[in-house]
């Protein structure tokens, strides 16, 4: 019985981490169709920001929830101003530019912080379920993922900012004709997406430690989740994360963790083959 509970908790934790990894990319890709190949590096930067702030004496929670998103959000705004804004609509050029950006970020962090793994231990300790112990931090991450999705939905659905964002996403020219400034919307969206990635990186740092090259491990999963999810930002990411996270965890429990990863990848391939426009290209098409 407690084995089932642990399994369910692990599934929830896997889904939550996929949601956290992908939400920043979903906002940027869903809104502006920009393939941000530096997404993994934004996550890495968030992790380093959190760890550095913590090592400088800042409270861990503030470091993870405030310092990391703000730092990476500001950096994202800078990047958008300098680089991305010249390249809207040019898919290939944004790929090249963001790949260069990711290399530059890895190089910069390597020079400043070195190549070794730094980390902090996961806070909140652990609790007992029957014969097994699991970390309370993982439950916290599930909570954060739910809060993020919910607040994203609330903002997009009920605030003026969300309305403008949705309008620009659907038809930028029309939104411009109606008086909004699409380039300002894009700038804010990119910064918000970067901030979300920074938050995710900061929150995930205690679980895996940070190295300059950790971005590469994250980016593939984030991409696969976002593209499998389809056009809708929130519901697409949530559904795709739920499906892929479940398959990953079940396969990990049944075989090894590597085969769990392979199962996730195979599931993504089959999903994309059956639903070429992503999940929300076919179901829940009008969802947020």
- Write out the residues near other proteins by the rule CB under 8 A: 35, 37, 83, 86-87, 90, 92-93, 95-97, 99-108, 110-111, 216, 219-220, 223-224, 227-228, 256, 258, 261-262, 265-266, 268-269, 272-273, 276-278
Which residue lies nearer to other proteins by CB, 107 or 123?
Answer: 107
CB of 31 to other proteins, least distance (A): 15
C-beta closer to other proteins: residue 101 or 233 = 101
Of 95 and 122, CB closest to other proteins: 95
Please say whether the beta carbons of 281 and 231 come within 8 A: yes
Cβ(192)–Cβ(27) below 8 Å: yes
CB 226 within 8 Å of CB 25: yes
Tell the smallest beta-carbon distance from residue 220 to other proteins (Å).
5
CB of 127 to other proteins, least distance (A): 31
Q: Which of 218, 158, 211, 237 is nearest to 36 (CA)?
A: 218
Q: How far apart are CA 172 and CA 158, in angstroms?
A: 20
User: Phi and psi dihedrals of 107, rounded to 5?
Assistant: -60, -45
Nearer to other proteins by C-beta: 79 or 196? 79
* Distance of closest approach, residue 160 Cβ to other proteins, in angstroms: 31
Cβ atoms within 10 Å of 148's Cβ, excluding its own: 19
What are residue 54's phi and psi, to 5 degrees? -65, -40
User: Which CB sits closer to other proteins, 23 or 37?
Assistant: 37
């Amino acid at each position: 019985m407690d084995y089932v509970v642990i399994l369910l908790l692990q599934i929830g934790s896997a889904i939550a981490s996929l949601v956290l990894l992908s939400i920043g990319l979903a906002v940027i890709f869903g809104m502006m169709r920009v393939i941000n190949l530096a997404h993994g590096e934004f996550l890495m930067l968030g992790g380093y920001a959190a760890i550095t702030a913590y090592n400088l004496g800042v409270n861990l929670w503030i470091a993870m929830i405030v310092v990391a998103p703000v730092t990476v959000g500001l950096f994202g705004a800078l990047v958008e101003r300098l680089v991305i804004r010249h390249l809207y609509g040019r898919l290939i050029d944004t790929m090249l530019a963001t790949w260069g950006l990711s290399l530059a970020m890895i190089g910069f962090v390597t020079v400043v912080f070195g190549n070794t793994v730094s980390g902090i231990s996961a806070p909140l300790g652990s609790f007992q379920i029957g014969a097994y112990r699991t970390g309370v931090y993982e439950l916290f991450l599930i909570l954060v993922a739910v809060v993020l999705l919910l607040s994203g939905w609330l903002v997009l659905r009920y605030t003026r900012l969300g309305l403008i964002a949705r309008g620009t996403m659907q038809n930028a020219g029309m939104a411009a004709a109606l008086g909004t400034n699409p380039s300002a919307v894009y700038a804010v969206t990119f910064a918000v997406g970067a901030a979300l990635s920074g938050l995710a990186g900061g929150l995930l740092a205690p679980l895996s430690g940070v190295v300059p090259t950790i971005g590469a491990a994250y980016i593939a999963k984030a991409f696969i989740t976002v593209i499998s999810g389809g056009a809708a930002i929130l519901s697409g990411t949530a559904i795709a994360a739920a499906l892929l996270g479940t398959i990953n965890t079940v396969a990990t429990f049944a075989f090894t963790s590597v085969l769990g990863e392979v199962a996730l990848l195979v599931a993504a391939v089959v999903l994309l083959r059956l639903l070429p426009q992503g999940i929300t290209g076919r179901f829940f098409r009008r969802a947020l």
